[in-house]
């Protein structure tokens, strides 16, 4: 057994043992916060309806129609997102960072606090279910695209180094996240959530790397094809695959509530993944060979792709491992043919990235109530969460990269890149919030953590780039 294999096995065994110990000790803890009753309380409930008479009565009445509200929301979201995305690019950050801040801006933390009545009119509580629906549709398309764009072949080329660094960047922050959960569970977890569910989710929330944001940052800096960039992309791809395989297990445990339920869910998940890989994937490959030589992919094939995407998402949701994993899995099994992929992604990417994702950011922003952090203890906890997140992801990745023979400069660069969380973190946090695992306060803290760790990436890379080898 070579040195890298020994490091890998010892690291996994050590942290698996430590995490098991935390779970055993956490069985004796009891949460005190009551369950979340509603995801979001809108100021619209407090506004009294004012009758409007005269010639414009019908116009004002139509302004409050659900369809009118929806279109006004989408227009506002697109304008604000584009403005914030432009500002982010001007200050050296990817546009997606600006879009995330646009969501926070339109939520109760800023716009809702300064203009409560306008915010209540623009985002009435009855409209939030529709916004959530649109955001979920957008995320389904986005996760499908991410699955398609993951090049599994690059994992084979740098398998040893990537596996050590990627899995170290998961197990170390996962361990730290579970350790943090042990100390905050009784005071900050909902009373109906077990320590097992809370600890496992805090672990996964600390372990995620935002592959799309990371790739965009690297592309803008021109380091994609450098040795550092190639390894970081490989590690992030492996990280994404691993994280999105662990998350359904965590969801299953949180939903099932019993060991039997978890085993059934995991068993069904294994069958589902097997069918997707060994039955659906070869069928799609044959279709691609048959129609791959055409200049434009046949509409019937595009229809098949949509059926596979939506069917996979539906089955994953029925099993209990979340609709987004189903969308991701559908993307992973798509044929590798460039023309085929280009044709499919071209039909989804623009509408997903430019329309639906900004809606998701705003929906997340509407849930993020930074004003709830109204005590020094909560802000102290926020600082601890950010510090633990950085230590786990940045520190774990950098040390692992150094152990497999990378220079300290490259190791720190990989750590900075793997510390990027961004969109993928927000997706996971929203899942945890929907499941009732996170309270509004912890949700707000975790969103702040995602923003801080993502904002750090650019400045950190600049500072590390100035270091001598």
Report the alpha-carbon distance of residue 440 to residue 369 in Å, rounded: 7
* C-alpha closest to that of 339 among 62, 150, 148: 148
* Cα atoms found within 13 Å of the Cα of residue 217, Cβ hemisphere only: 33
* pLDDT of 331: 87
The mean predicted confidence, pLDDT, of the chain is 81
What pLDDT, in 10s, does the model give residues 183-219? Answer: 999 999 988 888 988 999 999 989 888 776 777 677 6
Measured CA distances, 34 to 193, 425, 431 (Å): 10, 25, 19
Judge whether 44 and 121 are in contact, CB under 8 Å. Answer: yes
The whole-number average pLDDT for the span 73-87 is 90
d(CA 73, CA 355): 12
| β-pair partners for 190 | 33
* 10 or 234, higher pLDDT: 10
The token duo for 228 is 């550092």
Contact (CB, 8 A) for 332 and 240: no
Hunting for tokens 């009551």 — which residue is that? 34
Render pLDDT for 316-337 as a digit per residue (tens, 0 to 9): 888 877 788 888 888 888 887 7
Fold held by 57-465:
Na+/H+ antiporter like fold (1.20.1530)
Q: Is 208 helix (H, G, I), strand (E, B) or coil?
A: coil
pLDDT at 469 over 60: yes
Whether the Cβ atoms of residue 117 and residue 47 lie closer than 8 Å to each other: yes
Question: Is residue 31 predicted with pLDDT exceeding 70?
Answer: yes
Higher pLDDT residue, 225 or 105? 105
451 vs 406: CA distance, rounded Å = 28
The total of other beta-carbon atoms located within 10 Å of residue 215's CB is: 21
pLDDT above 70: residue 291: no
pLDDT score, position 40: 43
Side-chain half-sphere exposure of 311, counting CA atoms within 13 A: 11
Q: What pLDDT is attached to residue 83? A: 92
State the residue for tokens 């996971």.
428
- pLDDT tens digits for 100-154? 888 888 888 888 888 888 888 888 888 888 888 888 888 888 888 877 876 666 5
CB 292 within 8 A of CB 231: no
Question: What pLDDT shows up at residue 5?
Answer: 81
**What's the pLDDT band for 358 if we cut at 50, 70, 90?**
confident
Query: Residue 432: pLDDT above 50?
Result: yes
Query: Tokens representing 12?
Result: 């996994």
Average pLDDT over residues 258-278: 82
In the prediction, which pLDDT does 43 show? 46
- The pLDDT assigned to 182 comes to 94
Q: Are 356 and 135 in contact (CB under 8 A)?
A: yes
| Chain Cα centroid distance, residue 434 | 14
Stretch among 155-159, 167-171, 225-229 having the lowest mean pLDDT:
155-159
pLDDT of amino acid 48: 42
Q: Are 208 and 425 in contact (CB under 8 A)?
A: yes
pLDDT computed for residue 391 by the predictor: 93
Banded pLDDT at 310 (limits 50, 70, 90): very high
| 439 CB neighbour count, 10 Å cutoff | 20
Distances (CA, A) of 136 to 300, 361, 430: 25, 11, 10
Contact 128, 386 (CB under 8 A): no
Q: Closest Cα partner for 181 from 13, 29, 12?
A: 29
Q: What is the pTM of this model?
A: 0.77
Among 30-39, 69-78, 183-192, the minimum mean pLDDT is found in 30-39
Q: Which residues contact 415 (CB under 8 A, 6 or more apart)?
A: 393, 394, 395, 396, 397, 398, 401
Contact call for residues 367 and 430 (beta carbons, < 8 A)? yes
Matching residue, tokens 């994702």? 357
CA distance 272 to 304: 18
Q: Is 152 helix (H, G, I), strand (E, B) or coil?
A: coil
What's the pLDDT at 108?
85
Place of tokens 């990417």: 349
Q: Averaged over 416-430, what is the pLDDT?
A: 85
For the cut 50, the answer to whether the pLDDT of residue 46 exceeds it is: no
Q: Give the start-to-end residue ranges of the domains of the chain.
A: 57-465
- Decide: 454 and 210 in contact? Cβ < 8 Å: yes
Using DSSP, state whether 33 is helix, strand or coil: strand
Extract the tokens encoding 68.
Answer: 């009118």
pLDDT at 42: 46
Q: What is the pLDDT of residues 95-114, one digit of tens each?
A: 778 888 888 888 888 888 88
pLDDT at 259: 62
Q: What are phi and psi of 465, to 5 degrees?
A: -60, -25
pLDDT of 408 higher than 70:
yes
């Amino acid at each position: 057994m070579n040195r890298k294999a020994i490091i890998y096995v010892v690291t996994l065994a050590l942290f698996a043992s430590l995490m098991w110990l935390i779970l055993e000790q956490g069985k004796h803890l009891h949460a005190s916060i009551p369950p979340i009753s509603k995801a979001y309380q809108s100021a619209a409930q407090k506004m009294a309806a004012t009758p409007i008479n005269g010639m414009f009565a019908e116009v004002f009445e139509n302004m409050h129609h659900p369809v009118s509200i929806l279109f006004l929301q989408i227009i506002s979201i697109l304008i604000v997102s584009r403005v914030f995305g432009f500002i982010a690019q001007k200050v050296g950050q990817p546009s997606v960072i600006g879009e995330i801040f646009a969501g926070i801006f339109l939520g109760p933390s800023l716009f809702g606090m300064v203009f409560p009545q306008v915010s209540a009119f623009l985002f009435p509580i009855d409209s939030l279910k529709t916004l959530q629906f649109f955001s979920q549709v957008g995320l389904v398309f986005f996760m499908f695209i991410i699955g398609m764009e993951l090049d599994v072949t690059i994992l084979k080329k740098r398998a040893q180094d990537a596996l050590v660094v990627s899995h170290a960047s998961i197990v170390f922050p996962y361990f730290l996240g579970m350790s943090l959960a042990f100390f905050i569970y009784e005071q900050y977890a909902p009373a109906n959530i077990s320590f097992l569910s809370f600890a496992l989710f805090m672990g996964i929330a600390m372990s995620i790397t935002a592959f799309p944001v990371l790739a965009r940052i690297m592309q803008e800096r021109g380091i994609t094809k450098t040795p550092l960039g190639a390894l970081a992309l490989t590690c992030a791809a492996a990280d994404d695959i691993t994280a999105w395989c662990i998350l359904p297990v965590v969801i299953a445990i949180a939903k099932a509530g019993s060991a039997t339920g978890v085993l059934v869910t995991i068993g069904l998940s294994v069958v589902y993944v097997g069918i997707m890989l060994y039955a659906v994937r070869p069928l799609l490959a044959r279709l691609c060979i048959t129609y791959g030589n055409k200049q434009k992919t046949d509409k019937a094939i595009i229809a098949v792709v949509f059926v596979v995407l939506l069917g996979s998402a539906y089955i994953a949701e029925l099993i209990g491992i979340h609709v987004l994993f189903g969308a991701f899995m559908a993307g992973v099994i798509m044929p590798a043919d460039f023309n085929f992929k280009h044709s499919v992604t071209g039909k989804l990417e623009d509408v997903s990235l430019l329309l639906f994702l900004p809606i998701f950011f705003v929906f997340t922003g509407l849930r993020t109530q930074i004003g709830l952090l109204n005590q020094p203890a909560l802000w102290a906890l926020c600082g601890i969460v950010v510090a633990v997140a950085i230590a786990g992801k940045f520190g774990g990745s950098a040390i692992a990269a150094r152990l497999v023979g990378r220079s300290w400069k490259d190791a720190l660069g990989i750590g900075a890149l793997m510390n990027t969380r961004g969109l993928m973190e927000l997706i996971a946090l929203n899942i945890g919030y929907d499941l009732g695992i996170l309270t509004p306060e912890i949700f707000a803290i975790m969103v702040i953590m995602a923003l801080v760790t993502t904002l750090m990436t650019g400045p950190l890379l600049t500072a590390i780039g100035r270091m001598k080898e």
